[in-house]
C-alpha cells in the first residue's frame, strides 16, 4: 500500500502543525514567562531603588537638621551611593537580556505562524484531494 503524493503532503502538513505547536509550547511560552518574571522583578527592584533613595535622603536631611558630625553625614551619603550602585548593575542586566531576547522571540513567532499556516494548508489540501478522489 503506497501513499499518494497528496497523502504525503497531508502527512507533512500535520508534522509541521505538530512542530509549530511544540515550538510554541516548549520554547516561546517559557521564554515569554521568563521575560514577564524578569520584568516583574525589575519593576519591584525599581520601586525598591526609589524607596531606598528616599530613605537615605531623609536620613541625610535629618542628620543635617540635627547638626550631626560631618563624618556621619558623609557615611550616610556613601552608604546611599553604594546601595544605589548595586541596583545600576541589575538595571543593565535586565535591559541586556530584554534586547537580546526580543529579536529572537519575534523571529520564532513568525516561524511558528508560517509553519502553522503552511501545515494547515497542506493538511487541508490533502483532505480535499482525498475527498475528490473518493468522489470519482
Quick: pLDDT tens for 8-43: 888 888 888 888 888 888 888 888 888 888 888 888
Q: pTM, whole model, 2 decimals?
A: 0.60
Alpha-carbon distance 38 to 94, whole Å? 7
Tell me how many domains the chain contains.
Answer: 1
pLDDT at residue 53 greater than cutoff 80:
yes
- pLDDT given at position 91: 62
Considering only residues 94 and 127, tell me which one the structure prediction assigns the higher pLDDT.
127
- pLDDT given at position 16: 87
Q: What is the pLDDT of residues 71-111, one digit of tens each?
A: 999 999 999 999 888 877 666 677 777 777 777 777 888 88
- pLDDT given at position 54: 93
CA distances from 28 to 23, 68, 112 (A): 7, 56, 9
- pLDDT given at position 13: 85
Domain that holds residue 76: 5-135
- pLDDT given at position 39: 82
pLDDT at residue 55 greater than cutoff 90:
yes
Alpha-carbon distance 79 to 3, whole Å? 75
Amino acid at each position: 500500500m503506497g501513499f499518494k503524493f497528496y497523502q504525503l503532503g497531508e502527512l507533512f502538513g500535520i508534522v509541521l502543525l505538530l512542530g509549530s505547536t511544540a515550538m510554541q509550547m516548549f520554547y516561546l511560552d517559557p521564554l515569554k514567562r521568563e521575560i514577564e518574571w524578569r520584568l516583574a522583578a525589575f519593576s519591584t527592584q525599581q520601586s525598591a531603588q526609589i524607596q531606598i533613595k528616599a530613605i537615605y535622603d531623609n536620613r541625610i536631611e535629618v542628620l543635617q537638621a540635627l547638626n550631626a558630625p560631618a563624618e556621619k553625614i558623609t557615611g550616610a551619603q556613601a552608604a546611599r551611593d553604594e546601595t544605589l550602585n548595586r541596583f545600576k548593575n541589575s538595571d543593565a542586566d535586565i535591559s541586556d537580556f530584554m534586547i537580546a531576547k526580543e529579536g529572537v522571540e519575534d523571529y520564532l513567532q513568525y516561524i511558528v505562524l508560517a509553519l502553522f499556516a503552511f501545515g494547515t494548508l497542506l493538511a487541508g489540501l490533502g483532505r480535499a484531494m482525498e475527498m475528490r478522489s473518493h468522489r470519482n
